[in-house]
Structure 1
C-alpha cells in the first residue's frame, strides 16, 4: 500500500464510522520477577515448566540484571568478579541466588532489617533537679521555652540549663519491623544507576527505565516515528496510586520538620502522582501531545489505559504510551497498611501456619490468593505499554503483542466503609464479557478466555472477587474459567498491579502458559469456585482473550479486555484485508530484528536507558505560529489547529 493509497484508505476508514483498534506494539518495565521486555519477568513466573534452554536464558538474563554476571562484546560471560565462565557453569552458580532474590521474599531493605526501623517516642521527663547540657549553636531551637537559660561557651557551643519540672521530649528508639515480606525488585538492580539520576525518587527512576524498556521492546525508532506524526497525535497517560513517598519525594518533605532535616527544592514537585507522565514527556520522548494521569487506587493502571484506549479509538491520538510506577515499600506506607489490617504481618503468618519462627521459605509463600490467607504482600513495579491505532501499526510494521478494545470502570455505589468491596466489579466484568462475546463469539468466551484476578490474598478479597467471577461465569455458561493470580509471585504493587497482570497476560499469549498460584496448597472453603479453575502449577492454555481485573480502595473497579495477537490478527484481516497484512508482515521483519537486538543487549545487562535532560528545550519565541498550525523546531510535522467543532457556527444564520 503506497502512502497515497494509505491516505485515502484512512479517509474511507474514518468515514465508515468504525473505531480505530488500539493495539499493543511494545511493553517495558520491571517488577520482582525481572524485566518486562522480551517476557523475562513472565518466564520467571513459569520457570520450572520451560524447556531447559529457555530456563538457562532466563536465568542468565536475570543474572545480568542483578549484576551477578555480564556478557562482553564477544558474547562471553563473566561472573561478578570478572572471571570468564561458560554459560552452563554460570547458571549453576547463580541459580539458587536468583531464585531466592527475586519474587516475594524477606524484605532486604536495611530499614526493615534486624536492627529495626528508627523512630521516636514522645515522653515527659520529670526533672527533680535542673538539667544542664551543651550543644552546637546551630542546633539550638529558634523559639526557646521561656524557662531555659542559655550561656555562651564559645562561638560554636552553648550551655543550656533547664529548671526542675516537666520537660516534653522525643526519645529515639528502634522498632522491630512487624511486616518483613515484600515483593522487591530483583536484588542488585538499581534503576537510578543506569542514567544520570540526581536525587530522583525510586518510582521515577523506575519510570525512566520502564519507558526506555518499552521503546526498546517495540523495535521502533522513536524519533523516526515521531517525525511522521502530528506532535499532538501522541499521548502519555502515566502516574501511580499514592505519589512518590520515599525520602527523595513527599516522604522526605513530610518528615523534614519532625526529623530535623531540611526540605529540598526537589521533594515537593517530584512527589506528585502524575510525575511519571511528566518525566516521560520531558526526558524520554519529548512529547508535546496530550498528557495526564488518572488515580484510581489499585486500579490506576487500568484507569490510565482507559484514557489511552479512548484516545486511540476516537482518533484523537495515533500513539499513546500508558503506564504506572509505584515504589511503596517504605516504613511509613507499610505501617499504614498494617494498621488497617490489610497486610500479612509476621504474627499473622505465624498464626496462619502455627509456626513459632518464620524462615525465608515462609516469606516466599506470604501471598496466597484464594487460599487460607491473612493479608496482602506489598510490592513495587513499573509497567508501560505503547498503544497504536491499527492502521499505523500496519503502516510501520510494528510488532502486535495484543490489543485492548475497551476498559470498563464502575464505582460501588453506597458503601459501609471506604475500603469495603461493593458491587461495581460485577458491572465491569459483565460488560467486558459481553464485549468479548460480541467480538469473538460465545464459544471463544466460554473456552478460550481466562481471568487475571486482582487476587490480593486478603480473606475478604478471596470471597468477594471469586463471587464476581462465579456469577458472571454462570451468566455466560462458562464451566471451568481459568483464574490467574500473579500477586502470589510479585506482590501487590498498588497502582501498577493491573500492569503486572496485563504484561503477564501478554506472556501467556506468547508462550501458551498460564502461571499457577504456587504458594497455595488448596483453595479456601469460602471461595466461590464452582465454575472457576484454580491451579498450583503453570498450565498450557491457548487463549483468545484475557480479562484484567482490578478492585481498588474506595470502589475503584476496572476490568480491561486484552485480545491475543492471534485474535487481533484475525480482527485486522477482517478490517483491512489479507493483502494489507502481508505487507505489514514484510515490514515487521525489520522491526523484529531491531527488537531482538535490544532484547539480546538487555539480557546481557546492557540497557539503552533514554534520558535526555536539557535537550531541545523550547520556551515559545522559537515557534512559528499560524492560524491553522504551529511549527515547532525539532519536530518534522506541524501541530494542526484544525479542531473538531461538533456544535456548528453561530454566524451561519
Structure 2
C-alpha cells in the first residue's frame, strides 16, 4: 500500500532499568509514582530477572529454597532490586583495579646486567639479541640480559569514572540460552530481539507466512563493534597479552553482527538486511531505514534495533581521555564531597560534568498498517517520519553542530501536518538526547527552545532517559523510544530525578524540565519527539505517535473492518500477556535457532517470475513493472523522429 503507516507492534530489550517488553523497565524508572500493586509487580519481576528468586506457581523460592509470597519477595529484596538497577558503580569488573602493564626501560650501561631464571618452555621463540641463555638442570634457564632493555611489568590502573548503566545485577544473558562464547553484545542482541518478537503476541511463523520472504527486513548494528574478549577486544589485545587470537574474534567482532544474528538465529530470515551506524544516533538511523522501506511498500515487516556492550575498561578510558565522561573527581566537586554519588552520575540539563557509559539492547517490530489490521496486531505507537541531518563544516568532530536544528524542526513540522497543531502544542513532549555534558545542556536546550518559539509552543515537557540508564551509545535513542512508549501506556513523563535544579545556562523560557514524574493523564500525550546527537555530526529526530492517536487514524482508513480487527486484537493481547507473565518470572524463552535444519539449496527453484525457497509459505516475486517506462517511451519517440529526419527524399 502506498503511504503505509509504520506501526510499532512489538518492542523488547534490556537496559539498566530491566526488561523493555510489557514496560518493566519503564515502571522501574517511575516506581515511586506507581500504585502499590504496580510497584509490587515491578519489584517481584525484577527480583526474578536478577536471579534472587524463582517462581513456582503463585509463590517464589529464594536461593536457599525458602518459599515466599510476592509480599515476602518485596519486603526482602526491594532494596537489592533498587540498588542493583539503574546507574550504579561498575560491577562487570573492578574499576579500581584494571589489569594493565607499564613499560620500563633498564640501564643503557653495557657493563650492567640483569639476571633471572624462567622455565625453558616459556622462552620467546625469538629471544632478544641481548639475552645470554644458559640451561639449568631442572628444565629452567638462566637469562642474563645486557645493554638497554625494555620490559612490560604488571601494573593495574584505576578508571577515573566508576559509574555505569549496566544490566540488572545478577542478570546474565548467557544463562538464558546456549551462548557458545558469543560476545556480550551479541548475547544481548539475541535476547533483545527475542523479547520484541515474543511481545507481539503473534507467532513469528504466522507473520512470516503472511508476507513474501523479501518483504521482511532486519536493520541492526553496534556502533563500536564487539569489544569484549570474544570479539575485537580479544583480537586486538591477544599478542600484547601473550595469548593467541581465535577463529571467531574477527567475524563476531563486526559491527553488522547484531543484524546477522537476528536474521540467522532469531528469525531465520532470507529477507532484506541492513546494518547502519550513526554514532550515538544509530538507533534512529536503523529506524529511518525501516520506516523508509515500509512507507515505500518494499518491506511489510521490519525488526530493528541495536545492542551495545560498551562498559569495558578500554572504551571507558577512551571517552575519559576526551573529557567526555563524568569522572569521580568532578562528581565530588559538583557535590562538595569526598565521595562520588554514582547513582546520580548522569545529570542531564543540571550542573553536570560528563556522560555516563552504559550497555543496553533495544528492538522494535514495525508493520505496515494493512498487515497489522489483517493479523490483529496490537499497536503501541507509530513512526511516520525520522529525519537525519549532518552538521556541515566542523572544528571539532565531537562537538555539537547545526544539523539537529534541521532534523528537529522538520520533525515538529511533519507532526503538525499529520496530527494537527493542537496535538503538537498541547499534547506532545520531547525525549532529549540529554547526554549530561555541559555542552549538550546548552546547545540542545537552545535548539529545542528555538523550535518551540518557531511553532509557538509553551511549557513543552522535556525529559531525558539517560538520567536513569546512562548513555548506551548506538542503543541510546532506543532507550528513549521505549521510555516514550511507557509514557503513552501509563500517562507519566519521567522526571530528571538525578538533579536538584536546572543549570542556569539551560534555555527554558518555553520548556519544562521536570525534576519529578509528571502525571499527564488529564492531557494525554499524542506525540513524542525522540532526539539524538552523535559524534561526527550525526543528528536524528523521530516522530512517535501514541497508540490512541494511531487508532483514530486507522479507524478512518479501515472503517469497514475495524471492529473485526479489535476483536482479533483481543486474542493477540491475551497471547502477549501470557508471554509477559512468563518473562516476569525470568522465563525469557530466548529464540536461538542454532542447529536447526538449513535451507535445502537443491530445493530452490527460479523462474522468470520469481524464486521459490523451501520452507517459506510464499515465493519471492519479481517486480516486473518498469519505473522508468515514461523515460523509455519518450526516448523511443525521439529516436523515431530522428530516423524520419534522416530518411532521404
TM-score category of the 2 structures, normalised to the smaller one = over 0.9
1:85 aligns with 2:37: no
- Determine the C-alpha separation between the residues in 2 that align with 1:632 and 1:159: 66
1:496 aligns with 2:475: yes
What is the aligned partner in structure 2 of residue 565 from structure 1? 547
Match of 2:203 among 205, 221, 243: 221
- Determine the C-alpha separation between the residues in 2 that align with 1:581 and 1:277: 34
Q: Structure 1 residues 632-641 or 32-41, which shifts more? A: 632-641
What is the aligned partner in structure 2 of residue 296 from structure 1? 278
1:428 aligns with 2:411: no
What is the aligned partner in structure 2 of residue 546 from structure 1? 528
- Determine the C-alpha separation between the residues in 2 that align with 1:342 and 1:29: 26
What is the aligned partner in structure 2 of residue 29 from structure 1? 13
Q: Would the aligned equivalents of 1:253 and 1:267 in 2 still touch at CA under 8 Å? A: yes
What is the aligned partner in structure 2 of residue 94 from structure 1? 77
1:260 aligns with 2:242: yes
Q: Could you list the per-position Cα deviations for residues 104-141 of structure 1 after superposition, in whole angstroms to 9, with x for gaps in the alignment?
A: 011112231x4x11111111012764333233344222
Match of 2:353 among 348, 357, 374: 374
What is the aligned partner in structure 2 of residue 614 from structure 1? 595
Aligned 1:189-588 pairs, distance under 5 A: 189-358=171-340, 362-541=341-520, 542-577=524-559, 579-588=560-569
- Matched position secondary structure for 2:99: strand
Q: Would the aligned equivalents of 1:111 and 1:331 in 2 still touch at CA under 8 Å? A: no
1:162 aligns with 2:145: yes
Q: Would the aligned equivalents of 2:599 and 2:615 in 1 still touch at CA under 8 Å? A: no
- How far residue 611 of structure 1 moved from its aligned partner, in angstroms, is 0.1
Match of 2:26 among 42, 45, 54: 42
1:64 aligns with 2:48: yes
Match of 2:38 among 35, 48, 54: 54
- How far residue 56 of structure 1 moved from its aligned partner, in angstroms, is 0.1
What is the aligned partner in structure 1 of residue 617 from structure 2? 636
1:184 aligns with 2:184: no
Q: Would the aligned equivalents of 1:118 and 1:173 in 2 still touch at CA under 8 Å? A: yes
Q: Could you list the per-position Cα deviations for residues 551-580 of structure 1 after superposition, in whole angstroms to 9, with x for gaps in the alignment?
A: 100000000000000010111122222x32
- How far residue 225 of structure 1 moved from its aligned partner, in angstroms, is 1.5
- Matched position secondary structure for 2:160: coil
- How far residue 156 of structure 1 moved from its aligned partner, in angstroms, is 5.0
What is the aligned partner in structure 1 of residue 98 from structure 2? 117
- Determine the C-alpha separation between the residues in 1 that align with 2:566 and 2:120: 73
- Determine the C-alpha separation between the residues in 2 that align with 1:237 and 1:619: 26
- Matched position secondary structure for 2:299: coil
Describe the shift of the 1:31–1:293 C-alpha distance in structure 2 as closer, same or farther (beyond 3 A).
same
What is the aligned partner in structure 1 of residue 573 from structure 2? 592
Q: Structure 1 residues 170-179 or 276-285, which shifts more? A: 170-179
- Determine the C-alpha separation between the residues in 1 that align with 2:185 and 2:68: 35
- Matched position secondary structure for 2:235: helix
Q: Structure 1 residues 243-252 or 643-652, which shifts more? A: 643-652
Q: Would the aligned equivalents of 2:133 and 2:141 in 1 still touch at CA under 8 Å? A: yes
Q: Would the aligned equivalents of 1:240 and 1:301 in 2 still touch at CA under 8 Å? A: no
- How far residue 616 of structure 1 moved from its aligned partner, in angstroms, is 2.8
What is the aligned partner in structure 2 of residue 140 from structure 1? 123
Where structure 1 has 5 or more consecutive residues not aligned to the other structure, the ranges are 1-13
Q: TM-score, normalised on structure 1? A: 0.94
- How far residue 643 of structure 1 moved from its aligned partner, in angstroms, is 5.0
- Determine the C-alpha separation between the residues in 2 that align with 1:38 and 1:479: 32
- Determine the C-alpha separation between the residues in 1 that align with 2:314 and 2:587: 34
- Matched position secondary structure for 2:148: strand
- How far residue 628 of structure 1 moved from its aligned partner, in angstroms, is 1.4
- Determine the C-alpha separation between the residues in 1 that align with 2:603 and 2:564: 40
What is the total number of aligned residue pairs between the two structures?
629
- Determine the C-alpha separation between the residues in 1 that align with 2:8 and 2:424: 21
1:624 aligns with 2:605: yes
- How far residue 444 of structure 1 moved from its aligned partner, in angstroms, is 1.1
Q: Would the aligned equivalents of 1:39 and 1:507 in 2 still touch at CA under 8 Å? A: yes
- Matched position secondary structure for 1:111: coil
Q: Could you list the per-position Cα deviations for residues 164-218 of structure 1 after superposition, in whole angstroms to 9, with x for gaps in the alignment?
A: x221111211112211111111000011111011111110001110011011111
Q: Could you list the per-position Cα deviations for residues 402-422 of structure 1 after superposition, in whole angstroms to 9, with x for gaps in the alignment?
A: 000010000001111100111
Q: Could you list the per-position Cα deviations for residues 403-455 of structure 1 after superposition, in whole angstroms to 9, with x for gaps in the alignment?
A: 00010000001111100111000100100000111111111110000000000
- Determine the C-alpha separation between the residues in 1 that align with 2:164 and 2:572: 37
What is the aligned partner in structure 2 of residue 3 from structure 1? none
- Determine the C-alpha separation between the residues in 2 that align with 1:313 and 1:468: 29
- Determine the C-alpha separation between the residues in 2 that align with 1:20 and 1:583: 20
What is the aligned partner in structure 1 of residue 645 from structure 2? none
- Matched position secondary structure for 2:588: coil
- How far residue 152 of structure 1 moved from its aligned partner, in angstroms, is 3.4
Q: Would the aligned equivalents of 1:616 and 1:634 in 2 still touch at CA under 8 Å? A: no
- Determine the C-alpha separation between the residues in 1 that align with 2:599 and 2:395: 51
Q: Would the aligned equivalents of 2:196 and 2:364 in 1 still touch at CA under 8 Å? A: yes
- Determine the C-alpha separation between the residues in 1 that align with 2:277 and 2:88: 28
Where structure 2 has 5 or more consecutive residues not aligned to the other structure, the ranges are 637-649
- Determine the C-alpha separation between the residues in 2 that align with 1:264 and 1:61: 38
- Determine the C-alpha separation between the residues in 1 that align with 2:412 and 2:245: 50
Q: Structure 1 residues 497-506 or 620-629, which shifts more? A: 620-629
Q: Would the aligned equivalents of 2:159 and 2:316 in 1 still touch at CA under 8 Å? A: no
